[in-house]
Structures are given as structure tokens and as C-alpha cells.
Structure 1
Amino acid sequence: MVKQYGNIYLIAGISVIGGALFGFDISSMSAIIAGKGYLCYFNQGDEPCLGPRSEVQGGITAAMAGGSWLASLCSGFLADRIGRKKAIMTAAVIWVIGSIIVSASQNIAMLIVGRVINGFSVGIASAQVPVYITELAPPAKRGRLVGMQQWAITWGILIMFFISYGCSFLEGPTAFRVPWALQMIPAIILFFGMMILPESPRWLATKNRWEECEQVLVLTLGKGDTSSPLVAHELKDIKEWLEIERQSQQVSYLELFSPRYINRTHIGLFMQIWSQLCGMNVMMYYITYVFAMAGLTGNTLLVSSSIQYVINVVMTVPALLFVDKIGRRPTLLFGSTFMMIWLFANAGLLATYGTDPGPNGVGGIKEASVEVSGAASKAVIACSYLFVASFAPTWGPVSWIYPPELYPNKIRSKAVALATSGNWAFNFALGYFVPIAFVTIKWKTYVIFGVFCLAMTIHVFFLFPETAGKRLEDVTAMFEDPHGIKYIGTPAWKTRSATFRSSRLEHEESGMQTSDDDLSPERKEKYEENETKEHV
């Protein structure tokens, strides 16, 4: 039997490679779609090397998101059946299969099929990696650890971009076949790395695998000490939770829209939807189009694009360090406000100083349908960089951190899967829409995304509660009473500093058992003592 390790940072570090797969896809497309090898091989224009038509390119890009949407919905059932760990390992295998097909593509149809299969992998991983980490992470570190998924995405984007850039000097189809084949490597590392990690103890408990459940708790919470009181309290709480959970009906996706859960379902779903509608995909998938409008060509275009990927990696770090201290709400409000400013600025620059380069666009890239030069060109590039710098420490990581914190354990897997499906549905729509939008409505594309950012700011302020630093069941107390009978909604702007008493604490005071699955008062004291010692 393979030896397993319980260090929570190792667990997060390996599992978030699933996020890197998404990052690899983003930058491989953005770097490759402007290259001659890709444009000539998949050409559909009347002239050579113009590449696929705009609507077809949109379909190629969106194919991955389409597969991710379907897989993310199914991932809840998969993870509940075979476990969080095996679901992530399954995603790794699917990614390898998809990458083989993509790298060997002989035509556009084969390329789309391969990208759909890759999407199955990303859909499973993006939904279940946050659930897996959330169920293992202590509250004080939960935001940082789940946020590592977004950091892994940014690293995947950066690494794959430079691989694709290096391969752009190769001749013919080799320029895109090699990078698409190399993206199998992180999936292989993920598959074998997950072998040394434990399964979620709560999932093991649902399958009556109590001995394994206890072993995982000893490994992760007890630091190898089988007599640790923390382990005993945690195991007791899990047993109590499971006893009550089994008295209730199995939760379906339809149940998520019941009065009890509808508010949380809507918040989690829109958390992921807004992360797409803010316009970040414009800056990631199609950044080469944007910079081509600013007059950059050839290697200068690709190098300038790479700078934003470096910014993305570097600016995600502050979120990992401070998101648990600053909170989710201030982080989201800051990000959406500043993204709106930079999007409206770019729209204004392109509308005021832009000229029409003709039907073939700038440098033969028809999606680069507006051309600016001089100071306006530099301003467009600067605003694009500032947009990424605003997204990276805010909506990027928090969009993965926030949804798993909203739900009780019995619905968490399916609820996060549903929320993530919203991400991929709109990722698909935007991947298809943006190339066409650049050709038809041109600079007005930025106005649309700027308005979305304004709507995000209003939505977050009035309806998104603060979850940072709160135990998972304290979050539940913001939405429902201790008995789970009366369903309430605490005003979001009042949840920052307010203290919410979880169902377990309320019931323990009255001598009743409850289904909540967090700390009892005694265990809370010992847990905080353990956290203090570990910090020191």
C-alpha cells in the first residue's frame, strides 16, 4: 500500500494541479491561435493562412468549456460515488486522452472533439478540487489553501504560454502539436501525486469506512498521534453528523432550489458566473487580438502578452496571504470596481483614437478590428495589464474559495458542481461570442463587460455575505435557524463582524444532538490551542 501524507499544504499543492490543467488550455490557445502554423493548417479563408472563420474559432475555443459544463454537473454524482480523491484522478486520466487527440488533430472536427474531452477533465477537477481541500482544511487556512487553485491556474497559463512561444519558432503543424502534447505532463503528475494523499474523512464516513476515516484524521489533524483528543472529538462529530444526515432524504440537484437552499444556490452560482462575465476571458484567451489592435506584431506581440501572465501569477500571491484577513466581500468589491474602470477606459480609448484597418483586421488578424497607435496604443496595453492586476488578487481566487464555504456538508459536492457548471456555461458562451464581437461590435465589446462589472459590484454588496474566518456551520447559521426549520437571510453588509452561532453550539447548550459537522466548544478550545502552537 502506498504511504500517505497528511500535510495540508502538500495535499493542496498536489490537488490544485487540476487547476493548472485549465491554465494550460487557456494560454496554449491564446499563444497558438495567432501563429502561422495554426492559421495555415486550419485555414478556412479564401486567402492562405487566415485561419478558421471567427465563428468557427469561437467554437473551437468554447468546445473545452462546453465539455467542462457537462462534466462539472456530473462531477457531484461521481465524487459522491467514488470519492473526491478518485474523481480528481479520473480527471487526470481524461485529460491525457483529450491531449492525445488534440495534439494529433488532422482537422477542425478532431480538434473540437479533443477539446471537449479535455473539458470533461477540467470540469471534474475545477468542481471537486475545492470541495476536497475545503473538507480537509482548518478554517483559519481554508481561503489560502483553496485559493491555491487559482494560483495553479495562473502558473499553468504562464508555463504553457512560454512553451507555446518557444514552439512558435518551429515549422508547420509541429508548432502546435508539440505544446498540446506536452500539456499531458501535469496530468500525469496529478494522477500519481494523488496516490500519496488521503481521501476526505467525511466521504469515508458516509461509506461506513470508519477505520480509514480515523486514520485520515490521525494523519491530518492528529499529526500522527492516535491518542490526540482533537481526533477523538472530530470523529465523534462526524458520527453525530452522519447519524442525523441519514435520517434525511438524499439531496438532489432539485433540492438546491428549495426555499432552504435557494439563496445559497443563487449566490454560489453567480459567484462563478460573474467571474466569467467580468471579461477576464477577453484578456486570457484573446489577448493576442487585443494587443494586435495596439499595433504589436510577431514576437513583440507574444512577449507583450506574456507580461500579463507574469502579472497574473505575481498578483495572485497577495490573495493567498491576506484573503482570510481582509475577507471575501471587500476583496470582491475592490476587484469588480477597478476592473470596471479599466474596461471602460479601454472602450473609450478604442472608440476615440481607433481606426478601421479593413476586413482583414490588423496584421491579417480579422478579430483585431480596431487599430490604435502612439500614446493611445500604450494606454490600451497599460489598461489591459491593470485589469489583470485587479482580477488576479480578487475574483480569480475568491471565485474558487467562496462557493464551497456556503453549503452544509451533505449538499456541498453537488452545490459546488452546480455553481462551477455556471462558470463553464458562460465560459463556453464567451469563448464563442468574443471573436465574433470583436469583428462586429468592435470596441463596444469592452462596454458590455464594463457594465457587467458594475452589476457585479451592486450584487456583491447587497447579497454576498462574509464567510472569511467562520466555521462552515457558522456560515449555515447566516441562512437558517438552529433547528433547520425557519430559513432566514442575514443582510450581507451585516455579516462582516457579526458572530453567528452554529446549530451544534445552540443544540449542545440545550443538551440536544444535531447534524452540524464542526467544532464542539471543548474541541474548539483544543483546536485553537493546536493552531496557535502550529503557527508559533
Structure 2
Amino acid sequence: MAVGAFTEGTPAGGGEGYSGRVTPFVVLSCVVAGSGGVLFGYDLGISGGITTMDSFLMSFFPGVYRQKQDTKISHYCQFDSELLTLFTSSLYIAGLVATLVASSVTRRFGRRSSMLIGGTVFIVGSVFGGAAINLSMLLLNRILLGIGLGFTNQSIPLYLSEMAPPRYRGAINNGFELCISLGILFANILNYFVVKITAGWGWRISLSMAAVPAAFLTIGAIFLPETPSFIIQRDGDSEKARVLLQKLRGTISVQKELDDLVSASNISRTTQYPFRNIFKRKYRPQLVIALLIPFFNQVTGINVMNFYAPVLFTTIGFKESTSLLSSVVTRVCATFANIIAMMVVDRFGRRKLFLVGGVQMILSQFTVGAILAAKFKDHGDMDKDYVYLVLITMCVFVAGFAWSWGPLTFLVPAEVCPLEIRSAGQSIVVAVVFLMTFVIGQTFLAVLCRIKSATFFVFGGWICLMTLFVYLFLPETKKLPMEQMEQVWRRHWFWKKIVGEEEEKKQAEEGEIALPSL
């Protein structure tokens, strides 16, 4: 079979026999849950903005402030500080640890419980940020936010995927990425205005306002229903799940979907150790995707824009206020791209968006690297025309990410993992995201100082590799019910060799086929 076979078009099954529509009840539940994405986005966006504010730097990072004023230091090295990058990236180490704990909580006590814990911890962390008077309080703020994000990022994509009708699952799950973009946009806009506060305490507003979306999520989660999958898995109450499904789907004809959920739950109950089981051969495709998709997501360089867009724009010649405004512009582009992704992901499929977005990001990163290599030196300003060209190219880059790798990083692993390993798979995704976010956040400024414009060629090379991975190894999963996802592996040119052999071995052990004599 040719490479890429069974990677285009709608998978067999397509949710046939499932009834229903997107009801207001589904929309309301997913809006409340998706607001957790605003938390993640807000925190991604807020840190990069306040680290360019002179008042913030003078209070906590005076060494970096002095570097900014020193004309003898290379533009590429003005913000090079391990302590400053620790402020940005410490959150993600805390999130990495928290998401491993969150997996057990989500599996045993439900998706809603994890959201409540995450939102509550996030509120407490926001208080420490707004009231910080020393570096210890500032780092405690970041650690608490990381714990909150570890719980919410682990549970919310699962919740959205399990609540959504199969044929609209991509659009609804992509709402999480839209919320992330909106959170970054709100943070960038707020930073732009608070930097104008001459008294120098505007950064306190930026850090403390994170409590607003956290409170919305926490209060809303109190009233959210659990997902039908979890109700069956925990209580074995198929009648209660039927009533909820009928309310979610707006129809009484939910028997086929209910039967699939009950079957998946029965298999799930036989799996006591999801983290141990996900390493079994039959789950090899899901494990590889849960590891590589979030890894590639981070090595695109997107968090350079999320964390350090204001720093980057300041580096290439924009003033403090203008650099913050430029960050707003790039995020507006990303937000529109997120909306486009929600509209087309269930029509065109996951693979096409991955591939088109990958090519768009490759061209963007190589273009930025070439402009900086040719026109931006260690000292002196770059011509304004080229500065704006870099800004436009960055807008193209974030748009490409926002309709492909951004939303699909959380959607695809959540939908391909069967119920018995779903919480473990999602924890791996979030853990890899947090680990790589920490690595990128902690090293980018140092790398930029040392290899300068070549940094963007490195990101471009990684995007080439991950686009090839999608082309060769990622099957299409649009509109296929999560409980029927195993068929994509049996038809894929590569994965069928692995899961097919595992299935034959299982049948042989059960006596359904005879092992060949030796």
C-alpha cells in the first residue's frame, strides 16, 4: 500500500447511527469549560508584556534594566538573564508536575473536579502576583498558576471532546485554542494600556486580573454536568447517561452512541493502571502521537511569540508602547485564524490543516531569519520598512499556527485515545507541552543572544520535520466517533503493522486462531 494510504477523506464509520445536533446546553457547557483556555492564554501573554515594562524590571530584575540602557550590549542580548527566564518558565515546571497528579483526579473524580481545583488555585496565585513585593512572592505566583494550569489543561480538552457530537468535535474542541488566543489578546491589550500608568504599578493590574477568568471558570464549573463517558465509567449508570445524552443531543435517539460509550467503559474498567497500559504495543500509535504532537507544537517557536513578542519587537527597534501594540496586532491575526479553524476543521479534516499550516510556518520562520541576518546587526536600528516586514511575517506565522498546530495539538490526542487510557494520554500531552514550554522559555533569550538570527532557521527546520511526520504517520480522524477510533490504525499503511500483529497475538492467546507450529 502506498505511503499515506487511508490518510485522506473521511474514515469509515463516520459516526453513522449517531443522532443529534449542537444544542444550547452543549454550547453553554463548552463555553464555561473552554474559558479555562483563557487562563492559559492570559498567562502566556501577560508575562512577555510585563517583562518589557521598566517599572517591573527595576522592581525585580534591575540587572536586566541596566542591560537595556547599555548601548554597548548587543540588541540580541539585552534581555539575556537566567533569572528573568526563570520567572517566565517556572510556571511550566509546576504545571508539568501538577498534570501528572491531575490525571488521577480526572479519572477518579471527574473532569469537573479537576477544573474546580485548577480554577481555585489559579485565583490564589493571582492574589500573590498582584501583591508581590519581592521575587519570592513573584515566583510563588508563577508556581500556583502552573498548578492551576496543570489541572485545567489536563481536564478541559477531555471534557470538550466527550461532550461534543462526533461530527462537530473538531470545531468545539478548537474552541479551547480560540479561548487561548483570546486570553493572550486580552493580556496584550491590558499590557498596552497599563504601561501608560506613570506611577509604575500597572504591572500589578496585569498580574492580578488573571483572577477574573479563573473565577468565571470556578463558579461555572460548579454547575457543569459531568460527561456521559465519565458517568458510565464511574457509576455504571447507563440510564443517567442516557438522560444526559438526550439533553446534550436534543433527541431521544441516542441508543447507538450510548451502546458505544457502555462498551468503551467496560473495556476501561479492566484497565487499572492507564499510565502503565499506554506503553503496551496495541496503544503504540496513541503514545507516539501523545508524545510527538505536543513536542512539535512547541518547537515551532510559537511560544517565542507568546512569551517574548514584546521583547522581540523591542529588540528589533520598536519602543516599549509600540512593541506591546505590535503584540496585539499579531494576536488579532491569530484569533481570526482560530475562528477559521473552527469553521473548517470538521470539513477539511485534521491532516490538511496540519500540512497547510506547517508550510505556512516554514516559509515565515525562514523569511524572518533571512531578514534579520541581512538587515539587523548587533548595534544600531534596523530600517523601519524591514521592521514592519518582520511584523507582517510574524502575523502570517501565528495565523498558520492558529488554524493548525495550535488547536489540533489538544484535539487529536484527546480523540484518538480510547477511554481506558484517555486521561493518561492527555496528561502526557500536557506534560510534554509544559516541559517543552519550560525548555523554550528558559533557553530562548540565551540562544538568541548566541546564535542570533539563526534561531529562526532552527525553528524552521523543526517545522519541516514535523510536517513530514504528519504526512507519513498521522491518519485522518474527522467525524469518526471516539469509541470507533481504533479502525484508523488498522487501515493505515504503517500503524497496521503494529496494531495488526498485536490483534493477531491476542486472538491466538484466546484460542480464536492457532499459532503456527515451529
Q: Measured at CA, do residues 286 and 172 of structure 1 come closer, stay the same or move farther in structure 2, by a change above 3 Å?
A: same
**How far 1:233 sits from its partner (Å)?**
4.5
Task: Name the CA distance, whole Å, in 2 between partners of 1:174 and 1:32.
Answer: 11
Q: Measured at CA, do residues 242 and 393 of structure 1 come closer, stay the same or move farther in structure 2, by a change above 3 Å?
A: closer
Contact 2:314 2:320 in 1 (8 A): no
Task: Name the CA distance, whole Å, in 2 between partners of 1:173 and 1:49.
Answer: 19
TM-score, normalised relative to structure 2: 0.85
**How far 1:204 sits from its partner (Å)?**
1.7
SS in 2 for 1:30: helix
Moved more, 315-324 or 155-164: 155-164
Match of 1:217 among 245, 260, 263: 245
Alignment partner, residue 354 of structure 1: 376
**How far 1:209 sits from its partner (Å)?**
5.7
Indicate the RMSD between aligned Cα atoms, in angstroms: 2.5
Q: Is 2:335 the partner of 1:313?
A: yes
Task: Name the CA distance, whole Å, in 2 between partners of 1:348 and 1:285.
Answer: 22
**How far 1:6 sits from its partner (Å)?**
6.7
CA deviation vs aligned residue, 1:7-52 (integer Å, no higher than 9, x gap): 2111111101111101111221122111111111113429758598
**How far 1:318 sits from its partner (Å)?**
0.7
Alignment partner, residue 515 of structure 2: none
Task: Name the CA distance, whole Å, in 1 between partners of 2:443 and 2:306.
Answer: 14
1:144 is aligned with what amino acid?
Answer: A
**How far 1:216 sits from its partner (Å)?**
2.0
Aligned residues: 468
Contact 1:41 1:49 in 2 (8 A): no
Contact 1:130 1:401 in 2 (8 A): yes
Alignment partner, residue 31 of structure 1: 49
Alignment partner, residue 450 of structure 1: 460
CA deviation vs aligned residue, 1:512-532 (integer Å, no higher than 9, x gap): 9xxxxxxxxxxxxxxxxxxxx
Alignment partner, residue 145 of structure 1: 172
SS in 2 for 1:169: coil
Q: Is 2:299 the partner of 1:277?
A: yes
Bigger relative contact order (CA 8 A; separation at least 6):
2
CA deviation vs aligned residue, 1:286-331 (integer Å, no higher than 9, x gap): 1112212332113222212211111111111110000111111111
Task: Name the CA distance, whole Å, in 1 between partners of 2:118 and 2:286.
Answer: 27
Task: Name the CA distance, whole Å, in 2 between partners of 1:427 and 1:263.
Answer: 24
2:179 is aligned with what amino acid?
Answer: A
CA deviation vs aligned residue, 1:207-228 (integer Å, no higher than 9, x gap): 22625434422321355xxxx2
Q: Measured at CA, do residues 199 and 254 of structure 1 come closer, stay the same or move farther in structure 2, by a change above 3 Å?
A: same
Q: Is 2:218 the partner of 1:191?
A: yes
Task: Name the CA distance, whole Å, in 2 between partners of 1:492 and 1:46.
Answer: 50
CA deviation vs aligned residue, 1:429-467 (integer Å, no higher than 9, x gap): 001011111222211111111111111111111111111
Alignment partner, residue 54 of structure 1: 81
Q: Which ranges in structure 1 are unaligned for 5 or more consecutive residues? A: 363-370, 481-487, 494-499, 504-511, 513-536
Alignment partner, residue 341 of structure 1: 363
CA deviation vs aligned residue, 1:204-256 (integer Å, no higher than 9, x gap): 22222625434422321355xxxx242x444444444434443x341331221
Alignment partner, residue 40 of structure 1: 58
Task: Name the CA distance, whole Å, in 2 between partners of 1:395 and 1:111.
Answer: 31
Alignment partner, residue 262 of structure 1: 284
TM-score, normalised relative to structure 1: 0.82
Task: Name the CA distance, whole Å, in 2 between partners of 1:409 and 1:205.
Answer: 11
Match of 1:77 among 92, 98, 104: 104
Match of 2:33 among 12, 15, 34: 15
Contact 2:264 2:420 in 1 (8 A): no
Q: How does 1:354-433 map to 2 (within 5 A)?
A: 354-357=376-379, 371-433=381-443
Tell me which protein shows more helix as a share of its residues: 2
Q: Which ranges in structure 2 are unaligned for 5 or more consecutive residues? A: 1-22, 69-77, 504-511, 513-518
Q: Measured at CA, do residues 322 and 172 of structure 1 come closer, stay the same or move farther in structure 2, by a change above 3 Å?
A: same
Match of 2:121 among 91, 94, 104: 94
